[in-house]
């Protein structure tokens, strides 16, 4: 049954990508199909279930069938008026040397090891037991969507993860870990394909292995948390945005994917500010290029997904969504659910230096920097010198946009911490959450590093 | 000058890549040993463990308590849980395991007239960490910790009581 669910998920994504005429290779389409299909399926299921307050298995099969047929017809209709772009691609056709092959074997080996962990281990992390998987369990046992309101703080996070877990229960398993493992592998395929648009296959393979083996994200790929899907949607949105603007003429299919992935970030975590960065950068670039229609489409897609959950919460709760996030976070951070951090708990041992810093921005920075570094180290070791060489020698416009976005995301994290320090009395307990959230910087940093022309001078990497 | 700078930057990059691999290798070798042990455990020695056995090793305290609560209460039970000063905050995840039983976490006032989310009143109290520390007339009390299950009928409980102090159990009101 799980394999059937996987087939349905891939088919829906594949048909969608065909319908929008995305020019991509087989492995990119496979990876992207899985990523966006999980979002499309959960959104569509939620929209229908909300009308009838039904969350029974039958609805899953009906919505899946409707999506399959609808997208197939849409694809037929659109294909009638446009060229079939299947497997046409301008990507690098350079051979994959032994080093690259070893890197890809490394990715496959890591995937298999993580899969064993995922399949073996039941859901046990606090966050999932307190909210994500609990909502799925309640909906599954009652067969109604609104029964998730029985769970404390149900409104604090959108139901993406819970609905994925619910689908997995419909398919006969109560262990959702494998979804996260597969989603990470899918992202690795997309990551490889995108690197391959700018550099050789060997460099792309090594870059993919570097990204895939990064400890924080690899750990998240076997945990039923929101961090990994959020990072994947955000990073995919940025990568497709860069592709959309890689030529003079804005490339519509990648722009649509970027908008969809950006909207889906809000379908995973609604209160995080990071979505604002690609949103404003894309809007600005489209405005400068006077693509007002595309700008309207982009804003509509990315914003309307955001409203799905906000409307539901507004309808069923008068409680302030931010306030509810506070309480769930305080629950979550009070019990460790991530690998032991080497950083001492600042609440337990107040740092005298920290307490002397009165400026909130400086205080927030001093607080979150070690947690941020804990997550991105040692990636940042390689990333830092590339900022210098890319900015002063290669001066690639696309790299400058990417670096700007990474910097803005960092500023968002900082601003978010300042906001938290001024709003929540327990903000210093959020160190683990900051660390886990900072995982989203890792794929972007590796993407920046391996897109650089720097690697082209090494014969070993050709 | 610019050429020299460019050369120095390239050296810095190569050095940073070297340091990266050195660092990853250093931190990766030990976990690799752990991974091999884990794989052996998951694929060979402990491959047939049940969900209960796995959960008892992953979340021993919460899962054991949940199992006992499930054993001694009906699915429609509404259970008063001690206020935060008596319990580890992590205990709140027990709601997941005991569903559809409803836990009501009391506040520091410890009022047994506290209602749940849908207005329901509790019909059980969790005996935990010397709570309840006020007199409660119980129709029955089941103690979890003893090797032989202990049951008391029609009893008034008010800790400290040497019979129940430090023990866990469920009180039916």
Interface ipTM: 0.85
Tokens of B28: 């990766």
Q: Choose the closest CB to B24 out of A121, A378, A454.
A: A378
**Is A49 part of any domain?**
yes
For residues A209 and A279, state if they share a domain.
Answer: no
For residues A140 and A101, state if they share a domain.
Answer: no
**Is A54 part of any domain?**
yes
For residues A160 and A265, state if they share a domain.
Answer: no
CB contact under 8 A, B59 and A120: no
For residues A168 and A181, state if they share a domain.
Answer: no
Range(s) of the domain holding residue A298 = 247-321
Which CA distances in Å does A350 have to A335, A347, A354, A364, A428? 19, 6, 8, 14, 10
For residues A111 and A260, state if they share a domain.
Answer: no
Question: CA nearest B42 in A: which residue?
Answer: A120
DSSP state string for A229-269: HHHHHHHHHHHHHHHHTSSSS--HHHHHHHHHHHHHHHHH-
For residues A156 and A186, state if they share a domain.
Answer: no
Q: Based on the structure, what is the number of domains in chain A?
A: 4
pLDDT at A87: 45
State residue A110 phi and psi, 5-degree precision: -60, -40
For residues A50 and A143, state if they share a domain.
Answer: yes
pLDDT at A348: 46
* Owner of token pair 């008034």: B156
Cα–Cα dist A239/A187, whole Å: 11
Tens digit of pLDDT per residue, chain A (462 long)?
A: 888 989 999 999 999 999 988 888 889 999 999 999 999 999 999 999 999 888 999 999 999 999 999 999 988 887 655 544 444 454 556 778 888 899 999 999 999 999 999 999 999 998 899 999 999 999 999 999 989 888 888 888 999 999 999 999 999 998 999 999 999 999 999 999 999 988 889 899 999 999 998 888 888 898 899 999 999 999 999 999 999 998 888 889 999 999 999 999 999 998 888 999 999 999 999 999 998 999 999 999 999 998 899 888 888 876 545 544 544 444 444 444 444 343 444 444 555 555 555 577 888 888 888 888 888 887 888 898 888 888 777 778 888 999 999 999 999 988 888 888 877 777 777 778 888 888 899 999 999 999 988 887 776 666
pLDDT at A357: 52
pLDDT at A323: 46
Which chain A residues are within 8 Å of B1, Cβ to Cβ? Answer: none
Beta bridge partners of B151: B142
For residues A39 and A130, state if they share a domain.
Answer: yes
For residues A42 and A159, state if they share a domain.
Answer: yes
Question: CA nearest B57 in A: which residue?
Answer: A124
CB contact under 8 A, A385 and B90: no
Residue-wise pLDDT tens digits, A308-322: 998 888 888 765 455
Domain residue limits, chain B? 1-48, 52-172
Shortest alpha-carbon distance between residue B87 and chain A (Å): 12
**Is A80 part of any domain?**
no
For residue A376, give the nearest of A432, A450, A444, A438 by alpha carbon: A438
Cα–Cα dist A11/A26, whole Å: 13
For residues A301 and A369, state if they share a domain.
Answer: no
Question: A172: alpha, beta or left, given left = phi > 0 and alpha = psi -120 to 50?
Answer: left
Cα–Cα dist A259/A278, whole Å: 9
Measured on CA atoms in the order A456, A461, B3, B9, is the torsion positive or negative? positive
Q: Which residues of A touch chain B, with CB atoms under 8 Å apart?
A: 113, 116-117, 120-122, 124, 126, 129-130, 133-134, 137-138, 141, 150-152, 213, 215, 331, 334-335, 378-379, 381-382, 384-386, 388-389, 392-393, 454
pLDDT at A345: 45
- Pair B98, B68: CB distance under 8 Å: no
Tokens of B92: 């709140």
CB contact under 8 A, A381 and B23: yes
For residues A251 and A316, state if they share a domain.
Answer: yes
CB contact under 8 A, B59 and A384: no
CB contact under 8 A, B13 and A454: yes
For residues A107 and A145, state if they share a domain.
Answer: no
Tokens of A242: 């860069």
Which chain A residues are within 8 Å of B9, Cβ to Cβ? Answer: 385, 388-389, 392-393
Cα–Cα dist B78/B102, whole Å: 5
Which chain B residues are within 8 Å of A122, Cβ to Cβ? Answer: 51, 54-55, 58
Cα–Cα dist A271/A406, whole Å: 19
């Amino acid at each position: 049954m799980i394999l059937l669910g996987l087939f349905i998920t891939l088919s829906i994504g594949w048909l969608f990508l065909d319908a929008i005429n995305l020019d991509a290779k087989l492995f990119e389409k496979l990876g992207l199909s899985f990523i966006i299909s999980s979002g499309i399926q959960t959104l569509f299921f939620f929209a229908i279930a909300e009308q009838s307050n039904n969350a029974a298995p039958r609805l899953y099969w009906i919505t899946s069938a409707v999506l399959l047929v609808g997208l197939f017809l849409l694809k037929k209709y659109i294909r009638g008026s446009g060229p079939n772009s299947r497997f046409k691609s301008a990507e690098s056709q350079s051979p994959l040397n032994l080093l690259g092959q070893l890197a890809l074997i490394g990715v496959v080996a890591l995937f298999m090891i993580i899969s064993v962990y995922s399949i073996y281990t039941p859901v046990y992390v606090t966050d999932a037991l307190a909210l994500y998987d609990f909502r799925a369990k309640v909906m599954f046992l009652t067969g109604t969507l609104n029964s998730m309101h029985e769970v404390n703080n149900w409104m604090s996070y959108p139901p993406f993860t819970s609905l994925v877990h619910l689908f997995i229960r419909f398919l006969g398993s109560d262990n959702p870990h494998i979804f996260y493992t597969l989603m990470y592998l899918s992202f690795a395929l997309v990551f490889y394909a995108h690197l391959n648009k700018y550099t050789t296959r060997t460099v792309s393979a090594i870059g993919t292995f570097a990204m895939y083996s990064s400890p924080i994200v690899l750990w998240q790929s076997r945990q039923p948390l929101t961090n990994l899907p959020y990072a994947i949607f955000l990073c995919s949105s940025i990568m497709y945005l860069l592709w959309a603007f890689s030529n003079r003429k804005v490339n519509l299919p990648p722009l649509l994917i970027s908008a969809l992935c950006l909207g889906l970030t809000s379908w995973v975590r609604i209160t995080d500010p990071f979505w604002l960065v690609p949103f404003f950068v894309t809007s600005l670039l489209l405005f400068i290029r006077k693509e007002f229609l595309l700008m309207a489409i982009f804003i509509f897609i990315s914003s309307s997904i955001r409203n799905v959950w906000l409307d539901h919460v507004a309808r069923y709760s008068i409680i302030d969504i931010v306030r509810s996030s506070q309480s769930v976070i305080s629950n979550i951070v009070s019990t460790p659910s991530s690998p032991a951090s080497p950083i001492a708990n600042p609440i337990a041992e107040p740092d005298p230096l920290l307490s002397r810093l009165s400026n909130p921005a400086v205080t927030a920075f001093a607080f979150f920097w070690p947690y941020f570094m804990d997550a991105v180290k040692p990636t940042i070791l390689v990333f830092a010198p590339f900022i210098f060489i890319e900015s002063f020698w290669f001066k690639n416009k696309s790299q400058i946009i990417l670096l700007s976005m990474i910097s803005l995301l960092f500023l968002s994290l900082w601003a978010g911490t300042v906001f938290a320090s001024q709003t929540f009395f327990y903000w210093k307990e959020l160190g683990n959450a900051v660390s886990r959230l900072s995982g989203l910087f890792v794929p972007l940093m590796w993407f920046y590093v391996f897109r650089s022309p720097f690697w082209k001078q090494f014969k070993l990497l050709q | 000058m610019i050429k020299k700078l460019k050369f120095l930057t390239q050296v810095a990059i190569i050095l940073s890549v070297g340091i990266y691999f050195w660092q990853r290798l250093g931190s990766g070798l030990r976990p690799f040993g752990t991974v091999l042990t884990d794989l052996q455990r998951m694929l060979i020695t402990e491959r047939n463990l049940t969900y209960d056995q796995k959960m008892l090793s992953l979340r021993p305290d919460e899962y054991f308590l949940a199992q006992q609560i499930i054993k001694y209460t009906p699915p429609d039970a509404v259970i008063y849980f001690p206020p935060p000063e008596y319990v580890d905050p992590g205990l709140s995840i027990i709601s997941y395991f005991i569903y559809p039983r409803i836990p009501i976490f009391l506040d520091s006032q410890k009022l047994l007239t506290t209602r749940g989310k849908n207005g329901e009143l509790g019909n059980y109290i969790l005996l935990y960490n010397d709570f309840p520390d006020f007199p409660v007339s119980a129709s029955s009390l089941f103690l979890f910790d003893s090797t032989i299950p202990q049951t008391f009928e029609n009893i008034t409980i008010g800790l400290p009581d040497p019979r129940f102090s430090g023990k866990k159990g469920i009180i039916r009101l």
